[in-house]
């Protein structure tokens, strides 16, 4: 079976992990701070808080921005459920903004219309989470301008998008957001096995997320209520979580980060190759917008015949050992959310989309098999 995505683990990756396994600290040593420093160097952000998953990063990002009961979070319906669940973890309510069907990114037009209506009703969001779907950045400058007009905070869900660029700046620089989160799950651009990180240029937000990452405990005397009675002394000053990343994971992340440009370049090569193959067909790849470059975590095509033809093609490819997927079911359709929403563009996308295999180590033979089977079918 050709998977839709997979990690590459090299001998250098293995050696990096083994070095930590042979060291005195498997966790809470020096490697996680080193990984955080490397991420700041790479993205241009001032602070990085590495955690055990991107979901954890989203959660502490929302908490750091004081999201809570009575507040509202908006995000894209075409995303993994974590983009919405992070708001529910904080006791807030969650709603969804429709997408641009050509890109699967949050629609600026739909966002502005929803904000105008919400202002009249007195129900503006406290946080908006744009999702850089598939690795392509959203229209961040426009979203940022709306945030100033309607007074909401921005968390960039860049789980798909480390290595992507917007207006010649790497995603993660937080140029147009309060916080950006990345995922290091195995099928993402680089991996730590499981893991994530929150990037920010705001020291206060950084300090709060760092505290929340580790049980709300501090050893910083300046933050303590009581005078320490020994070198062992620490205080819990907030209700935090055990969201720490291990040094084992961080070592793998550092090694992988050294190859990120190679990985992103290869993903773009594969995407361009697919584009050329489908140029004269009825298959429509998601549109890539000007002024940005995608990390191409996903390569999504839209099948013009709609759900019936899409489903037949999907099953046909699986029977031929091609691991296609569907990213994603609109979040509001899951029974847990119990919403009567029906966003037109999200529904259209869901009925037409298939994610094709894309990862740096995929062979030319396998790529040709994917395309040949699709072209033979249509």
Do 70 and 203 lie in one domain? The reply is yes
Do 282 and 180 lie in one domain? The reply is no
Separation CA 55–CA 57 (nearest Å)? 5
The answer to whether residue 1 is domain-embedded is no
Do 206 and 239 lie in one domain? The reply is yes
The CATH number linked to 125 is 3.40.640.10
- Six-digit token string for 37: 């420093």
Please state at what angle helix 82-89 crosses helix 54-64, rounded to 10 degrees.
40
Q: What is the structure's pLDDT at 6?
A: 96
Q: What is the structure's pLDDT at 159?
A: 98
- Which residues does the chain have with pLDDT short of 70? none
Do 252 and 273 lie in one domain? The reply is no
Q: Using the 3D structure, point to which of 202, 224, 257 is the last residue of a domain.
A: 257
Separation CA 250–CA 33 (nearest Å)? 9
Count of structural domains, the chain = 2
The CATH number linked to 284 is 3.90.1150.10
- Six-digit token string for 224: 């303590």
How far apart, in Å, are the Cα atoms of 239 and each of 60, 206, 216, 242, 278? 11, 16, 5, 10, 52
Do 273 and 360 lie in one domain? The reply is yes
The answer to whether residue 4 is domain-embedded is no
Q: Please give the residue range of the domain that contains residue 145.
A: 11-257
Q: Using the 3D structure, point to which of 224, 257, 290 is the last residue of a domain.
A: 257
Q: What angle do CA 234, 237, 241 make, to 5 degrees?
A: 95
Do 185 and 284 lie in one domain? The reply is no
The answer to whether residue 18 is domain-embedded is yes
Q: What is the structure's pLDDT at 282?
A: 87
Q: What is the structure's pLDDT at 341?
A: 80
Q: Using the 3D structure, point to which of 257, 284, 311 is the last residue of a domain.
A: 257
Query: Which single residue is written with the structure tokens 């929803």?
Result: 114
The answer to whether residue 5 is domain-embedded is no
Give 284's strand partners: 302
Q: What is the structure's pLDDT at 178?
A: 98
Q: What is the structure's pLDDT at 24?
A: 96
Do 223 and 277 lie in one domain? The reply is no
Do 92 and 191 lie in one domain? The reply is yes
Do 108 and 226 lie in one domain? The reply is yes
Give 199's strand partners: 48, 180
The answer to whether residue 2 is domain-embedded is no
For residue 41, which phi and psi values (nearest 5 degrees)? -60, -40
The answer to whether residue 198 is domain-embedded is yes
Do 237 and 265 lie in one domain? The reply is no
Q: What is the structure's pLDDT at 111?
A: 98
Q: What is the structure's pLDDT at 98?
A: 98
Q: What is the structure's pLDDT at 236?
A: 97
Do 181 and 41 lie in one domain? The reply is yes
Q: What is the structure's pLDDT at 340?
A: 79
β-pair type (179-183, 153-157) = parallel
Do 167 and 301 lie in one domain? The reply is no
The answer to whether 215 touches 162, Cβ cutoff 8 Å, is: no
The answer to whether residue 244 is domain-embedded is yes
Q: What is the structure's pLDDT at 377?
A: 82
The answer to whether residue 297 is domain-embedded is yes
Secondary structure (3-state) at 121: helix
């Amino acid at each position: 079976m050709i998977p839709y995505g997979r990690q590459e683990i090299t001998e250098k990756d293995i050696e990096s992990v083994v070095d930590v396994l042979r060291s005195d600290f498997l966790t809470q040593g020096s490697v996680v701070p080193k990984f955080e420093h490397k991420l700041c160097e790479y993205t241009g952000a001032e602070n990085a808080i590495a955690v055990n998953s991107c979901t954890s990063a989203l959660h502490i990002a929302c908490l750091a921005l004081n999201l809570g009961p009575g507040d509202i979070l908006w995000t894209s319906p075409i995303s993994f459920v974590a983009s919405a669940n992070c708001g529910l973890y904080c006791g807030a309510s969650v709603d969804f903004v429709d997408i641009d069907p050509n890109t699967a990114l949050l629609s600026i037009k739909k966002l502005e219309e929803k904000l105008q209506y919400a202002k009249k009703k007195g129900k503006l969001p406290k946080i908006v989470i744009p999702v850089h779907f598939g690795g392509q950045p959203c229209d961040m400058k426009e979203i940022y301008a709306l945030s100033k007009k309607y007074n909401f905070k921005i968390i960039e869900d860049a789980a798909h998008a480390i290595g992507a660029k917007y207006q010649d700046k790497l995603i993660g620089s937080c140029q147009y957001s309060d916080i950006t989160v990345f995922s290091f799950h195995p099928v993402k651009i680089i991996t730590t096995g499981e893991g994530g990180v929150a990037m920010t240029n705001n020291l206060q937000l950084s300090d709060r997320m760092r505290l929340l990452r580790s049980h709300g405990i501090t050893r910083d005397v300046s933050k303590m209520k009581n005078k320490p009675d020994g070198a062992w002394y620490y205080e819990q000053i907030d209700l935090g979580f055990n969201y720490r990343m291990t040094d084992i994971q961080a070592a793998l992340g550092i090694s992988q980060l050294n190859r990120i440009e190679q990985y992103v370049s290869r993903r773009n090569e594969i995407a361009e190759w697919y584009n050329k193959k489908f140029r004269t067909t009825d298959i429509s790849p998601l549109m890539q917008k000007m002024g940005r470059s995608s990390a191409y975590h996903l390569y999504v095509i839209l099948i013009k015949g709609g759900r019936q033809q899409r489903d037949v093609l999907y099953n046909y490819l699986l029977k031929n050992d091609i691991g296609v997927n569907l990213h994603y079911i609109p979040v509001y359709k899951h029974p847990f959310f119990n919403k009567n929403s029906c966003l037109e563009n999200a529904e259209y996308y869901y009925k037409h989309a298939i994610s094709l295999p894309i990862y740096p180590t995929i062979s030319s033979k396998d790529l040709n098999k994917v395309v040949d089977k699709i072209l033979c079918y249509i």
